Amino acid sequence: MTNTVGIAITTTMQDVFEVPDGVVRHITMIHIANIDGTAPVDVTAQWTDADNSDAVTRLVYLLTVQPKDARPATVGAFALMEGDKLQMNGSANGDAEATITYYDEVA
């Protein structure tokens, strides 16, 4: 079953989710919308690798989304393993929102 989660992006790097034990999480889409009417916002999305001392791998770094516009943050699907985290932040509080679509597979 496909699941969707949405978050308001803040200036603090925040966990979108941590993959539960015994699960492989397949992320199929990350979509960023700038809900500010006048200013662009820069968004960073990254994941931490629980099997590698929580090493950070950036999916996008300072991706600029123009006012009243939206952009995909990834092209194609990828998988995160148990304990891995998806994290995001932006250059302004409350100016952007993210929608993440995924499905889980029992490991």
Name the nearest CA neighbour of 45 among 60, 34, 57: 60
Range of the domain at 13: 2-106
Is the pLDDT assigned to residue 107 strictly greater than 90? no
How many domains, the chain? 1
Residue 62 sits in a domain of what CATH number? 2.60.120.1330
Q: What is the C-alpha to C-alpha distance for residues 21 and 64, in angstroms, rounded to an integer?
A: 34
User: What pLDDT sits at residue 83?
Assistant: 98
What's the pLDDT tens digit per position in 10-43?
999 999 999 999 999 999 999 999 999 999 999 9
Within 10 Å of residue 35's Cβ, how many Cβ atoms?
A: 16
What's the pLDDT tens digit per position in 56-94?
999 999 999 999 999 999 989 999 999 999 999 999 999
